[in-house]
Amino acid sequence: MEDFSTLIGGIAGDGINEAGATIGRLFNRLGYRIYMYYDYPSLIRGGHNFSLIRAARRKIGTHRDKVDVLIALNQETLERHRERLKDKSFIIYDADKVKPLDLKSSACGLPVSQILKEEGALSIMKNSCILGGLCRIVGIEWQVLEDVLSMHIPKELELNLKVAHRGYDSAVEFCRIEGLNQESLPIMTGNQAIGLGLIRAGLKAYIAYPMTPSSSLLDFMAQSAPGFGLRVIHPENEIAVMLMAQGFAYAGIKAAVGTSGGGFCLMTEGLSLAGQAEMPVVIMMAQRAGPSTGLPTYTAQGDLHFILNAGQGEFPRFVVAPGDAEEACRWSGVALNMAWKFQVPAFILTDKSVSEGLYSLDISIAETREEHPILWDGEDEYHRYKYTQTGVSPLAYPSHRGQAIKANGYGHDEHGITTEDPKTAVAMADKQLLKGEALAKEMEEYEAVAVHGDSGSNTALLCWGSNKGVCIEAAEGLGLKAVHVVVLSPFPAQRLKEALKGAQRIIAVEGNSTAQLARLAGLYGINVDEKILKYDGRPFSLDDLISEIGRTLA
């Protein structure tokens, strides 16, 4: 079985996210590639949370509707997800809490509470118990589970192992997941991948005010701070976040910020300052369903044009929307490099699916090395905004005896002194245009658009960001082409046209209600024929998309 889906569900507080991750790690140890979707409402205890873990031979980035194993920590899980059961699915449940439904599936109720009680274990350890049962049921060797738990359980490992073993012993084998002859890869969320990508490319400071689904990057950075020598700050609000980033940039410290829509709004004034003052800054912007507070823990691709146009006035920006953790890691590094090379704001535009989804990551692919900005040569007088052929002025940071390094958000001359002179205004605007061109030129070297699936097909799915995985699989399954636009600004129109060559029918697949990428492509004369849009806050499953494509092509 080379495509295996497991769902575990319970209430918030049950640790469903972590339990799902552990299941992913088990499959990972067997050489599978992992994708996990974690679904939870905006509350802390109660409600309904579930993790959908899929394991397959090849790298994947989407989930299936149906599951092979359904793990129910409560009755609601069973009831909500019964539709996901196939003829041969298996149900595992907490026998003390869940009354099995009269279903045709095989099922195993574990006496979880009893085991916990007997072992004197905490309620949260029920996951260990259940996972023990799962391993036995799907034929994963005890040792694999022991290795995983030993690595990832920070507290009371012994007791957890004991409880897990009890679960293992209470169940019987139902099937046997074969190990694949592949090495295990690290598995991580998109946000963790971004963190690593930024750190690898030389990040020295991370500033954020918590906001779902960006907060887990703040967590990761705060944890990584001592090891990597990062300054991690959670200040009073997002305005401060964005302005602090500029203080760091001025001082020569590579900094990034992270937020989501509402928080980003508060950064737009600072963004425009970064444009005028030419401060490099990286913004990780994780989309969620809006407008306003919207559905804070659910996904969307509704902010593309906002990001492309945010901030008053005109200045170039780099925008990349990675489609999975690998891309997130690689392109975050590129974003940091571009920010400093061209002294522009650079966006890593994700959504809840990419930011909080769990993926297998092959670091050899995701590698991006630090590049260093053009520095002042120390000759003559320093001019922060010196005109050059590329529009990029060499950088210097305080302190240099005899030199004043003057950054300025007002209209300014080369030295950084304020001026409202019309000729200088034009020259500085032209400098911005030049930088934009230089950035676009640089981007020609990068694979800003990727073609997947059947490249000869005359039907193409056009997507961006988190829909990469689902579009690739759907395209492969249906013999279509899938075109994934990775860089959104500077827009890779030429590459996109080439990628779409031969496609007579272009279907945009997006997580919004107005087809924002299609709109953007339209600007460059690329017209989409059909649109498949999902805007209920949930990502497409492979099955969703395949049936939508079927409807569209019918």
Partner 1 sequence: MKPTDLGTYAKNTWCPGCGNFSILNAMRAVLAQLDEEGLPVEEVVLVSGIGCHGKIVDYLNVNSFYSIHGRTLPVATAIKLANPERKVICFSGDGDCLAEGLDHLIFAAKRNIDITLILHDNRVYGLTTGQYTPTSPQGFKGKSTPLGSAEPPMNPPELMLVSGATYIARGYTHGIDLLQRLFKEAILHKGFSFVDVLQVCMTYNNLYESYNKCVYEMKGNDTSSFDEALRLSRSWRYDGPDAPIPLGRFYQVDAPSFEEVFPGFELVDLDEAKREKKISEVLERMI
Ligand X SMILES: Cc1ncc(C[n+]2csc(CCOP(=O)(O)OP(=O)(O)O)c2C)c(N)n1
Any residues with CB less than 8 A from the CB of 369 and at least 6 apart, and which?
Answer: 200, 201, 333
The interface mask with partner 1, positions 170-209, x = CB under 8 A, is: --------------xxxxx---x---x--xx----x-xxx
Distance CA 418, CA 421 (A): 9
1 contact, one of ligand SF4, partner 1, a second copy, none, CB 5-8 Å limit per kind: none
93 contact, one of ligand SF4, a second copy, partner 1, none, CB 5-8 Å limit per kind: none
Is residue 211 a contact point for ligand X (CB under 6 A)? yes
Check: CB of residue 166 under 8 Å from CB of residue 115. yes
What are the structure tokens assigned to 452, written together?
A: 């997947």
- Torsion region of 117: left, alpha or beta (phi above 0 gives left; psi -120 to 50 gives alpha): alpha
SS3 390: coil
Contacts of partner 1 in 273-312 (CB under 8 A): 273, 277, 292-293
What are the structure tokens assigned to 447, written together?
A: 């694979």
Count CA atoms closer than 13 A to 144's CA, side-chain side. Answer: 24
By CB under 8 A, which span of 72-80, 99-107, 214-222, 306-314 interacts with partner 1? Answer: 214-222
Q: 235 vs 522, which CB is nearer to partner 1? A: 235
Of 247, 290, 373, 394, the residue at the interface with partner 1 (CB under 8 A) is 247
Contacts of ligand X in 403-442 (CB under 6 A): none
Q: Which helix (H) or strand (E) holds 282?
A: strand 281-287
209 contact, one of ligand X, a second copy, ligand SF4, none, CB 5-8 Å limit per kind: ligand X
Check: CB of residue 38 under 8 Å from CB of residue 357. yes
Report the relative pairing of strands 459-464 and 67-72 from DSSP bridges: unpaired
172 contact, one of ligand X, partner 1, ligand SF4, none, CB 5-8 Å limit per kind: none
In the sheet that holds 449-453, the strands lie side by side as: 449-453, 481-485, 459-464, 505-510, 530-533
Is residue 387 a contact point for a second copy (CB under 8 A)? no
CA 457 remoteness from chain centre:
29
405 contact, one of ligand X, ligand SF4, partner 1, none, CB 5-8 Å limit per kind: partner 1
Q: Which helix (H) or strand (E) holds 427?
A: helix 422-443
What are the structure tokens assigned to 116, written together?
A: 């916990």
Q: Could you tell me the sign of the dihedral formed by the alpha carbons of 84, 296, 54, 90, in that order?
A: negative
| Binding residues for ligand X, total number by CB under 6 A | 8
Check: CB of residue 333 under 8 Å from CB of residue 197. yes
Is residue 262 a contact point for ligand X (CB under 6 A)? yes
Is residue 28 a contact point for partner 1 (CB under 8 A)? yes
Of 44, 369, 401, 523, the residue at the interface with ligand SF4 (CB under 6 A) is 44
Q: Which helix (H) or strand (E) holds 33?
A: strand 33-39
Is residue 47 a contact point for ligand SF4 (CB under 6 A)? no
Check: CB of residue 150 under 8 Å from CB of residue 157. yes
Q: 378 vs 522, which CB is nearer to a second copy? A: 522
Question: 255: exposed, middle or buried (C-beta count within 10 Å: 0-12, 13-18, 19+)?
Answer: buried
Distance CA 221, CA 197 (A): 12
Distance CA 333, CA 328 (A): 9
Count CA atoms closer than 13 A to 87's CA, side-chain side. Answer: 0
The interface mask with ligand X, positions 104-133, x = CB under 6 A, is: ------------------------------
Contacts of partner 1 in 334-353 (CB under 8 A): none
Of 227, 313, 422, 525, the residue at the interface with partner 1 (CB under 8 A) is 227
Is residue 41 a contact point for ligand X (CB under 6 A)? no
Contacts of a second copy in 242-281 (CB under 8 A): 260-262, 264-266, 268-269, 271-273, 275-277
Q: 188 vs 518, which CB is nearer to a second copy? A: 518
Is residue 538 a contact point for a second copy (CB under 8 A)? yes
Contacts of ligand X in 289-328 (CB under 6 A): 293
205 contact, one of ligand X, partner 1, a second copy, none, CB 5-8 Å limit per kind: partner 1
Is residue 514 a contact point for a second copy (CB under 8 A)? yes
Peptide bond into 41 cis (omega under 30): no
Least Å from the CB of residue 125 to ligand SF4: 21
Is residue 9 a contact point for a second copy (CB under 8 A)? no
Amino acid at 90: F
Contacts of partner 1 in 46-65 (CB under 8 A): 46-47
Catalog residues that contact a second copy under the rule CB under 8 A: 41-42, 239, 260-262, 264-266, 268-269, 271-273, 275-277, 287, 289-298, 300, 302-303, 305-306, 308-315, 409-411, 420, 422-423, 425-426, 429-430, 432-433, 512-514, 519, 522-523, 535-538
Catalog residues that contact ligand SF4 under the rule CB under 6 A: 44-45
Catalog residues that contact ligand X under the rule CB under 6 A: 209-211, 238, 262-263, 266, 293
